[in-house]
Chain A
Amino acid sequence: MTTIERHTDVFRMPALGADMTEGRVVEWYVDEGGRAERGDLVAVVETDKSDIEIEVFEPCVFEEYLVRIGQPVPVGEPIARVTVDGPRAERTPAREQPPAPAHVASTTTTGSTTTTGTTGNTTSNTTGNTTKATTTTTTTTTTTTEPNHRERATARRRMTPRARRLARERGVDVGSLPTDATITGDTIARLTEDVRRSPSRADRSPNLRRAIARLMERSWAEIPHYHVVSTIDLTDADDRLQRYNETRPVEERVVIAALLYAAAARAAHETPQLNGWWRDGTFVPSESVDLGIVLALRTGGIVIPTIQAADRVDTTEMMSVVRDLVERARRGRLRERDMRPASISVTNMGDLGADSVLGVIPPPQVALVGLGAPRLRPAVVDDTLTPRLLVEASIAGDHRAHDGMAAARFLRHFHRHLEDLP
């Protein structure tokens, strides 16, 4: 970027998955006339699967909103008029979102004709009213504290538009609040009433269920699955983690799931046959390991956000990345970047789960790593029967793209990385 040229542009409804046809802006984080830096989160778009936070890719000023809160807007349609500081580079969803992410299925919107705040019975109707500052849009948006996220440059106390609005309406003395973090609408809301509970989540279930159904039907109909399983000894890795955690405050501790994800990403890097997509009758390898993490929602259903370049994320960083993802997925506040296409996914039963899982691949990916619950089980070590912490690791493979040997190789690499990773 050498020349700086101001120009007017439009900000369009992004495609959060190739099958998405429309979305609804349910909250603006930036006021009309407000400025956003590159990477700032500016709005929340509601889809059937999740509310997704949208960011800007170049510094700009939001001159005017072009859509009403809750109004269904087709992908690619302008949602705001902006003035961009940089060279002209209109942000088109088609360019930003190349292949089809498996995790966002099509949005056949139901009950979407209403734009007056009563969003029918299908979707998150708590978020439909944010202009009127209903406070039910769940809690702490952690967006503004993430290291990569550039804070909005402002000399005054950092507050989101919603927070300013709420503070004004409820007469909250902002001067009494701590200054070390950006004040969100939820901060204000929490001071005045209890808004932790989010009754909206169940409302999304039918749509989410249908989206998962379509994806799984397609997978099962198209993909000739095979499965390969290995039992992997986690005892030493777990001991290392215990030692690491002993001396660390709770927010820095690492659980074994983080290690499993980090090792899986590295194994995928070394097994390129499993890392990519099946498209038009041929396998297209991915250049990076973008790891989909299957997350079960308590209210039912799953979402599969993506960790980009996960093979380069170390174990401690993986822990914070995954914790953050889980928290945002639970709140139904994933981000645009979380919804980019994964090249391979992992489903992890966790320590409360079943012993093993043989998965169904989210197309167009060609492999799914399945991890059972790590458990103490009898094992033979140096000719002695001894209790060891074992995990059943499986690969669900697309037999069109590769064979069992490749999956077995993946599991060997996976095992090795579990031993090697710090």
Chain B
Amino acid sequence: MNRPVISHESAVAVVRDSIEQIAPDIDAHAIPLDTDMRIEAELDSMDFIAVLAAVKDRTGVDVPESDMATASTIDGCAAYVVANTTAERPATADDRADRPYDVNARTEIIES
């Protein structure tokens, strides 16, 4: 099926929320979707980790270290979230047996 349980627009909103949580004085809507948020919002490496942790809190999607560059734009981060939040997503190298994935739990969080 691979039906996305979160739309790209929702994922973008989640990423923006996460940025604003870490940097309350930033207007995430002012950050262009395709530019590096780290530079645009002056997020240092510690802030950026915190943003990705906030995204994970909201969606359950853990952006691995190797994909952090891709996830440094709002669009890129949102796309990663969408790709990894499908109802029956294909197994990827990032899947780990010790971190079970619970689609239903995540869906609730997203919609609440």
Interface residues of A (CB under 8 A from B): 138-140, 196-198, 201, 242, 245-246, 248-251, 253, 255-258, 298-299, 319, 322-323, 326-327, 330-331, 350-353
Cβ-defined contact, A138 with B46, below 8 A: no
Instruction: Determine the distance from Cα of A196 to Cα of B56 in the docked complex, in whole angstroms.
Output: 18
Cβ-defined contact, A196 with B21, below 8 A: yes
Cβ-defined contact, B45 with A330, below 8 A: no
Tell me if B78 is interfacial: C-beta within 8 Å of chain A: no
Knowing A251-B56, A253-B65, say if A139 contacts B45 (CB, 8 Å).
no
Which residues of A have CB within 8 Å of B38? 352
Knowing A139-B21, A249-B62, A249-B99, say if A323 contacts B46 (CB, 8 Å).
yes
Cβ-defined contact, A256 with B45, below 8 A: yes
Cβ-defined contact, B53 with A255, below 8 A: no
Cβ-defined contact, B56 with A352, below 8 A: no
Which residues of B have CB within 8 Å of A326? 46-47, 50
Knowing A242-B65, A250-B62, say if A201 contacts B25 (CB, 8 Å).
yes
Instruction: Determine the distance from Cα of A331 to Cα of B25 in the docked complex, in whole angstroms.
Output: 9
Tell me if B17 is interfacial: C-beta within 8 Å of chain A: yes
Cβ-defined contact, B56 with A249, below 8 A: yes
A-B contact pairs, 21 of them (CB 8 A): A138-B24, A139-B24, A196-B17, A196-B21, A196-B24, A197-B20, A197-B27, A198-B25, A246-B64, A250-B52, A250-B62, A251-B53, A253-B65, A255-B45, A256-B45, A258-B46, A299-B25, A322-B46, A326-B46, A351-B44, A352-B44
A-B interface contact total, Cβ < 8 Å: 72
Q: Categorize the interface residue count of chain B.
A: 20 to 34
Tell me if B31 is interfacial: C-beta within 8 Å of chain A: no
Which residues of B have CB within 8 Å of A258? 46
Instruction: Determine the distance from Cα of A338 to Cα of B66 in the docked complex, in whole angstroms.
Output: 34
Which residues of B have CB within 8 Å of A198? 24-25
Interface residues of B (CB under 8 A from A): 17, 20-27, 38-39, 42, 44-47, 49-50, 52-53, 56, 62-66, 99
Known: A298-B23, A350-B46, A352-B44. 13 other contacts (CB 8 A): A196-B20, A196-B24, A198-B24, A198-B25, A249-B99, A251-B53, A253-B49, A255-B45, A255-B46, A257-B45, A299-B25, A326-B46, A330-B25
Which residues of A have CB within 8 Å of B47? 326
Cβ-defined contact, B42 with A352, below 8 A: yes
Cβ-defined contact, B22 with A327, below 8 A: yes
Instruction: Determine the distance from Cα of A248 to Cα of B66 in the docked complex, in whole angstroms.
Output: 11
Nearest opposing residue in chain A for B57, CB measure: A251
Which residues of A have CB within 8 Å of B53? 250-251
Q: Of B25, B27, B66, which is in contact with the most chain A CB atoms at under 10 Å from its CB?
A: B25
Which residues of B have CB within 8 Å of A251? 53, 56
Which residues of A have CB within 8 Å of B45? 255-257, 350-351
Nearest opposing residue in chain B for A299, CB measure: B25
Which residues of A have CB within 8 Å of B23? 298, 330
Instruction: Determine the distance from Cα of A373 to Cα of B47 in the docked complex, in whole angstroms.
Output: 15
Which residues of B have CB within 8 Å of A298? 23, 25-26, 42
